[in-house]
Structure 1
Amino acid sequence: MSISFLSSAESLLLAPIKHFIHEDFHDILQRMPLTDKLLFMIIHGVDKTGIQWHKLPVFMGLIYLAIRRHLHSEYNLLNVGRTPVGVRFNPNNFPYRTADGTFNDPFNEGAGGEGTFFGRNMLPVDQKDK
């Protein structure tokens, strides 16, 4: 009961705002938790006003970039490599970058390593079919 009430209250609050957001973003906005929706609205509002982030006061510009980076990494990058499974490594065991570039990210020891994929904004397409 309380979850359905919260979701209906959330949709009522966001319904008037959706008119100001391009319809391409409506689908992804539905999948975001409320906190990310609010962060998205902040970034979208700053972008719509035409204020450039580098002209904001330094602290506000850094906050803007941190929020934008979070939203892009969470909703824009597609993982095209293998997904790590298991327990994450202890960063104290690897205090420096290894020769092959592994063990930089405590959540994914292979990220940034030799022979790994970069996150992508589009799904890869087999070029033989084109």
Structure 2
Amino acid sequence: MVYVLLKLGADVNIRCYGAFFCAEDQKAGRTDSLEHEYVELSLRTNYTGHMYFGEYPLSFAACMNHPDCYRLLIAFKANPNAQDTNGNTVLHMCVIHENMVCHLAHYRVINDLYRIHCLPNPIKRRSLWILVTCSPKQ
């Protein structure tokens, strides 16, 4: 089904955002505006919630452990560096959801992209937390 939608021109980098898709502890302090897409969220969060999967199809596929769908989205040029409102990429979402299978698959894909195309790493996060500091459970 995913392949059919992609062949018909579905946007692989479309965002799915809103209070429903936000981390639970950010919902109360979320400020939305009809004039612009900018959303103000608290930097202090534990990233837990039933629907916080990173706003992009690639992040959702990784969090839900669908490696075939993940590879298909990559083949159709999904951006693995796309950042959600919190500044999290697919790799951050894999760590947050403790999904090591997709974490390793994503690492291989990103490593190949940077090695083959000599791309710089442009990722800057909203908070000062980096991938290593996201991973330990407290």
TM-score normalised by the chain length of structure 1? 0.26
TM-score normalised by the chain length of structure 2? 0.25
Larger radius of gyration: 1
Q: Would you tell me which structure has more helix in proportion to its own residues?
A: 1
Q: Which has the higher contact order (CA 8 A, sep 6+)?
A: 2
